[in-house]
Structures are given as C-alpha cells and as structure tokens.
Amino acid sequence: METLEHELRCHPFVGDLEPAYLTLLSGLARNVEFAAGAFLFREGGRADRCYLLREGRVALEIATMARGHIIVQTLGAGEVAGFSWLLDRTSGSSTRGPSSRSGPSPWTATPCAPNARTTRGSGSSSCAASPTWRPAGSSPPGSGSSTYTGPLMQPRTEAARAQQPWLDRELWRVTATRRESHDTVTLELEPPAGRTFSFRPGQFNTLYAFGVGEVPISVSGDPEAPGPVRHTIRDMGAVTDALCARQPGQEVGVRGPYGTHWPVAEAEGGDVVVVAGGVGMPPMRSAFYHLIAHRDRYRRIVLLYGARTPADLLYPDELSSWRGRFDLDVQVTVDTAAGDWRGGVGVVPDLIGSAPFDPAATTAFMVGPEVMMRFTTRALTRAGVPDERIFLSAERNMHCAAAMCGHCQIGPFFVCRDGPVFSYRALGPWLRRREA
C-alpha cells in the first residue's frame, strides 16, 4: 500500500513541493472515492478544500441562462478540482491556501464524478490547518512571495473562457439588502475591486444564483450615483427566489450591462410621461432619477404608477417625496384596496386622461404587464402622442439570450437581442396583432 506522501509526490500539481511541505500536506490530506454520478461539491457552496484527482474523470458543470446546465470541462488524473479554494479574487491571482479575505470563496462550478478517485487537500479554512504550500522565498518563478499562478490553473481558466464566452461573469458582493414588499427585495451589489460600472437607464444585468440559474434584472438605481449597484427583484420562481434570499457578504454572478435604454436625451425639451406597472417600477426608477437630476432639460415630468394593492407598491418613501415636489406630477393607483388607503383605485391606463401633458410635445416611457402597456399605448395615441415618441420595455421571459429559442420573440424582434426598450412605432403592430 502506498503512503499518502508518496501519492502526493506522484501528483503533478504538488509533486515538486519541497519534502517538508509534502510531509505537512500529507498530514492534512486524505483519500476519498466518489461513486459515478456523485457531486464532489456544489457551485456557490463554501470553497474550503481542493481535490487532486488520481483516477477517473470529473465533469465541471455550471448553470447558465444561455444553455441551462452545461459541462464546461472534463478533468482527469493529475488535475485539480476546486480552484476556488486557491483563488484570491481580490487580486485576480491565486494563492495556495484559502483567500486572505474574511471567508472562503464560493465554488464557481459543480464537479460531478462520472468515476473519480481523489486525494483531498486541506480540509479546513482556518489558518492553522491551511498549508502554506510555498512560503516566501520558495515561490515558483515569476510569482510573488505569497501568490502563485500555477502551470495548471491558468490554462484551465483561459481554455474554459475561450470555449464558453458567457463564462465571463464577475462575482459581485452583496453589500446591503432591503425588503421592498412581501415578495420583492432590493440587492445592493458591489463590483469587484478596480471595476467601474456604468449603465444607461433601462439597461439590465444578468444575475446568477450559484447552481440555480441566471435571469435578467434591470438596474434600478441612479445611473449617476457612485457606490453599490441596485437591483430590485420580485420572487417569481427558482432563480429570483434564490437571489432574494442573498445576504450581505454573499456573492452573485453578474454580467452586463445589456440592452437598449430609455431615450432620455431625445426627450429633452418636451414633456415626459413615465408609466410603470407592478415590478415595472425598478427599470423605470433609473430613468426617473435621470429626469430629476436634469430637471431643467424637460418641461412637465409626469409619473403614473400602479400596483395590485397598497402593499405591493415599491419605494413608497421615494414616491411620497416625489409627490411632495411642485415640479413633478406623480399619481399612484392600486387595483384593489381596503382599510386606510387614501390614494386612487383603478388601473394605470385610466390615469392618462387626467394627466397634465401636451401630447404633441410628449415622450412617453412605459413598462409593466403587457395588458397594461396595450391599454396605455391606446390611451396615449388617442390623446395624440405620436407612435414614434412612445417607448416601452418588453420584459419577456428570456431563455437562450442568443436570439435563437424564440421565448422572447415579438414578431421579428428578439427582446434579448433588440430590446428591452423599443419604440411603439416598431413594436406596436406586433403587440396589436396579439389582441386579435
């Protein structure tokens, strides 16, 4: 029977370590065997060990919006599963041992063992039990005293990225959460150090809950404010449920910003009517922040917002501060109300008739359920707003995000490729066709 130290010496990833460190490592390692189909660990879980593969094969799998669960790489004997344990994302390089941050990084893929036998490295995240595999002074050539860009690691990540461009999502940290309603949460997300993020009002990011999936979510914050990036998410299904459960300090995979934006520059000099229904308020809020920040560029600014009940209204504090301003016209309505609700009851399109705007000099932005948008566009066009000055965000359920599957197709348009913001002149004929 071979000793663990001998097995480690035969493994390409650690075989060249000095004997003292091999001895240390063998005291921390153990042999484990996985049955075919078993998972070594799950993406997004606590990255607190790595696996040196001795026999068999391991498939690395990630969940994507574009393709569902996909295998990004297959590993064999002599390779390593569990690079997240070694990666220090704050510097973009790798460390041998857990990151110096407060806790371990999450796994960034889910390895499944068709048939694998591994030797496990350090099984603890505490410093005492974490081997410093190469101390200062004995680092591999070209690396710093405590960092290591290993010969196996770099080709692995680069090859995977070259094969799968959609892997280029970043890990953003949740800095704060805010419950907006019984089913809606705002996540404040901080991009990685050194990354500057900017977006146009109406654009979206894709947010990825590890091991569950990826969904498009609009950026709901102020486009000109520095600091964490806000996304307001309604819990609709598996992915949004996992995102709404994120806590400060945890990470979310982010790609973006994507998509067309509200034409705030083209609207300058005239009236602007902003219409939002339900969870349509978050993508509209970024536009409204812009309009307020550049108040002198517009004539009348009107916000018409509707929700199912008073409890479903998002951002009530902001709404009341906007309602208190003499230079904004804000009207809020709910479908049904009981008790002490003193606001309007009714549907949003009904607010158009009494809203103060000059139709011939108005640009309208709207987002919400499709039935709301159909009736609102009808009311706007009847009032005399030209089709080409009405814009809507079509937040159809995306699936492939590559203009192929047709889930988000409206006539010749794919929301994932051509949207989400469209002019009514372009989209209207196709929306009207759905009414027949």
Ligand X SMILES: Cc1cc2nc3c(=O)[nH]c(=O)nc-3n(C[C@H](O)[C@H](O)[C@H](O)COP(=O)(O)OP(=O)(O)OC[C@H]3O[C@@H](n4cnc5c(N)ncnc54)[C@H](O)[C@@H]3O)c2cc1C
Residues that bind ligand X (CB under 6 A): 204, 213, 215-218, 220, 232-234, 236-240, 259, 279, 282-283, 395-398, 415, 420
Q: Pick between residue 50 and residue 421 the one whose CB is nearest to ligand X.
A: 421
Please confirm whether the linkage preceding 429 is cis (ω < 30° from 0): no
Cα-flanking dihedrals φ and ψ of residue 121, to 5°?
-80, -155
Closer residue to ligand X, CB minimum distance, 188 or 271 = 188
**C-alpha to C-alpha distance for 167 and 155, rounded to whole angstroms:** 15
Q: For the CB of residue 45, give the shortest distance to ligand X in the complex, in Å.
A: 20
Of 204, 167, 174, 202, residue with least CA distance to 189: 174
The structure tokens listed for 282 are: 């978050």
- The residue (of 106 and 259) whose beta carbon lies closer to ligand X is 259
Nearest residue (beta carbon) to ligand X: 237
Other Cβ atoms closer than 10 A to 375 = 16
Which residue number, 108 or 205, has a Cβ lying nearer to ligand X? Answer: 205
Shortest Å distance, C-beta 419 to ligand X:
7
Four-CA torsion 323, 324, 325, 329, nearest 10 degrees = 30
> Which residue, 238 or 360, has its beta carbon nearer to ligand X?
238
> Using an 8 Å Cβ cutoff, are 202 and 287 in contact?
yes
Distance CA 59, CA 43 (A): 13
Q: In terms of CB distance, is 228 or 282 closer to ligand X?
A: 282
Question: Tokens standing for 383?
Answer: 């009032």
Whether a cis peptide bond, with omega within 30° of 0, leads into 98 is no
